[in-house]
Amino acid sequence: MNLDIETGLLSRARHVPSPNQDERPAGCVPELLVIHSISLPPGEFGGPWIERLFTNELEPSAHSYFADIAGLKVSAHLLIRRDGELVQFVPFHRRAWHAGESCYEERERCNDFSIGIEMEGTEEGDFTHRQYAALVEVVATLDENYPGISPERIAGHSDIAPGRKRDPGPGFDWIDLRRQIQTQRGV
C-alpha cells in the first residue's frame, strides 16, 4: 500500500471526500492514531449509511436512529469495513472531526494531531481478521510516512475521551493487534 504524501491519500483506499474537515493548526502533524468503532444503524454492517453520515447525506427518515444523528458534522480519516475494504474520507495531513472533546498525554484537542480510523463494528462485538490485517498494513504505511506516528501511539476513542466514549470496545483485540504489528515489523 502506498501513501501519496502530497495528497495524503492511500493508493488502496476508495476515496469519498467528506466536507467535515479542515486544516490542522500551524505546526500540528499526525502523532497519534485513534481507533473507533461504528455501525449504522447500530449493530448492522454494510450499506451506505456510514459514508452518508460522513458526507452529510444521511437521510433522517431512512431509519429511526438517524433522526438524532443526521445533523452531526463528523468524519474520520479512514473506515475499515468488515471485509477489509478501506474508505478514505479525509487526507491524513488534514484534520478530520472524529475525536470531539479529548485528551491524550495531557494534550487536549486530539483532532489537531491525530488520525482517526473507524472500524466497522460495535463496542460489544468482535472485529474480523480482514479488518485487523488492513489496519496493520495502514499502521505500517503511516509509520513509514509520518515520523510522529508509531505503533506505541495508538489509542482507542475510549482512551482519549474516558467516560464519554466506549469505542472501539472490549471486543477490539489490542493484544493481537500489537502482536501483528510487531510481526509485520520483524520485531
Q: Which three cell numbers stand for residue 114?
A: 491525530
Buried b / exposed e over 70-84, threshold 16 CB at 10 Å, is: beeebbbbbbbbeeb
Cβ burial of 11 (10 Å; 0-12, 13-18, 19+) is: exposed
Q: Is 44 a catalytic residue?
A: no
Which candidate in 118, 120, 123, 137 is catalytic?
A: 118
Sign of CA dihedral 80, 81, 83, 85: negative
Long-range pairs of 13-17 with CB within 8 A, sequence gap ≥ 24: 13/78, 13/86, 13/87, 13/88, 14/85, 14/86, 14/87, 14/88, 15/87, 15/88, 16/51, 16/54, 16/55, 16/87, 16/88, 16/89, 17/55, 17/89, 17/90
Residue 63 per-residue DSSP state: S
* Bridge partners, residue 22, by sequence: 95
Q: Supply the residues annotated as catalytic.
A: 118
